[in-house]
Amino acid sequence: MFHLSNGMLQEPTNRTEVSELGEFGLIKLITENYKIRRDDTLCAMGDDAAVIDAGARAQVVTTDMLVEGVHFDLMYTPLKHLGYKAVTCNLSDVAAMNAIPSQVLVSIALSNRFSVEAVEELYKGIYLACEKYGVDLVGGDTTSSTSGIVISVTAMGWVDKENVVYRSGAKVNDLLCVSGDLGGAYMGLQLLEREKNVFQSNPNIQPDLAGNDYVLERQLKPEARVDVVRKWADLGLKPSAAIDISDGLSSEVLHLCTSSNVGCQLYEEKIPIDPSTASLATSFNLDPSVCALSGGEDYELLFTIAQADFDKVRNHPDFTVIGHITDAGDGVNLVARDETVHPVTAQGWDALLKKDQGE
């Protein structure tokens, strides 16, 4: 029977705040006891995408939701960029499984604040991303919201079954590698937030964003590293584990090590940071390494390889070896520039934790 109680949500008397668990604690709570019932579900929750058996190939499926005021601020996010990013952040999860993206579904909830022209602008970005990555938009859902805009994208992709790469495959002595560079998206966000505050205190002052194209692009128009999946194939390289970096290096290293039941030694001096990210961080009185470790949304790939594959990544312009995998008992550690060793803690985006409220 369905009961109404004064129109209020019925809840048990022992009420626990979601903020006490945080995003990852909540996901663990609702998923950890789930038992897969179908043979063709090769992997359910717990990785960047679910994996479904499709004969010789596997299909991967992933979904991510962007909520106005939580994940983006329309004061400085052009709708076209938002549409582009809503697609690419999902394609990044497909790439993290070593798969090539193929289709997306896009669902939107809109308040009456949004015009037809605004929605068209959003879809210009969505279509641009589809074109760039060679994927088809194949469906979605459209509904209204009481405030703001919510965009939910589901992405699918394909990979030969034996080439699926999970978060859980890292082995002791493997090398920990990362694509591209880190911290840029976070510095782009800091810059946009600073200029928003300046504008709000004096609307006559125009934003001063000159010379910061790189970090702004990293924040507003991130790419998915599908090119890296192709490069791995060209190099004859199958990583032992991979995850995409959406929440900051620290958080993703911890996820990868927890899933693989290993530890790791990560070297601060090896973390790739673009000079423009580093100099902007310094001008904000921020430590560039902290931006790379704790800032989110870089959408690079963090992966591990067997030592025997070292020659394939050594001197490769897209890849940097930043550490190695150890026994679980050794923990997940950062070796700082001064050679002191610190346990890695996740300070990445965890939208539901109290300390991060408002992000």
Residues that bind Mg ion (CB under 5 A): 48, 93, 244
Contact 112, 143 (CB under 8 A): no
Contact 191, 283 (CB under 8 A): no
In the complex, the smallest distance separating the C-beta of residue 144 from Mg ion, rounded to whole angstroms, is: 29
Q: Is 300 in the site for ligand ADP (CB under 6 A)?
A: no
Q: Please give the structure tokens belonging to residue 178.
A: 């990362």
In the complex, the smallest distance separating the C-beta of residue 154 from ligand ADP, rounded to whole angstroms, is: 11
The binder of 47, among Mg ion, ligand ADP, none, by C-beta within 5 to 8 A per type, is ligand ADP
Within the chain, what is the greatest distance between any pair of CA atoms? Answer: 67
Sign of CA dihedral 280, 286, 290, 291: negative
Contact 220, 77 (CB under 8 A): yes
Q: Is 47 in the site for ligand ADP (CB under 6 A)?
A: yes
In the bound state with Mg ion, the residue whose beta carbon lies nearer, of 59 and 326, is 59
Backbone φ and ψ for 319, nearest 5 degrees, come out as -125, 145
The binder of 46, among Mg ion, ligand ADP, none, by C-beta within 5 to 8 A per type, is ligand ADP
In the complex, the smallest distance separating the C-beta of residue 93 from ligand ADP, rounded to whole angstroms, is: 5
The binder of 90, among Mg ion, ligand ADP, none, by C-beta within 5 to 8 A per type, is none
In the complex, the smallest distance separating the C-beta of residue 95 from ligand ADP, rounded to whole angstroms, is: 11
Binding-site string for ligand ADP from residue 90 to residue 109, where x marks contact by CB under 6 A and - marks none: ---x----------------
Residues 6+ apart with CB under 8 A from 122: 79, 80, 82, 83, 108, 151
Q: Is 48 in the site for ligand ADP (CB under 6 A)?
A: yes
Q: Is 45 in the site for ligand ADP (CB under 6 A)?
A: yes
CA distance 349 to 64: 14
Residues 6+ apart with CB under 8 A from 317: none
Q: Contact positions toward ligand ADP, by CB under 6 A?
A: 27, 30-31, 45-48, 64, 93, 246
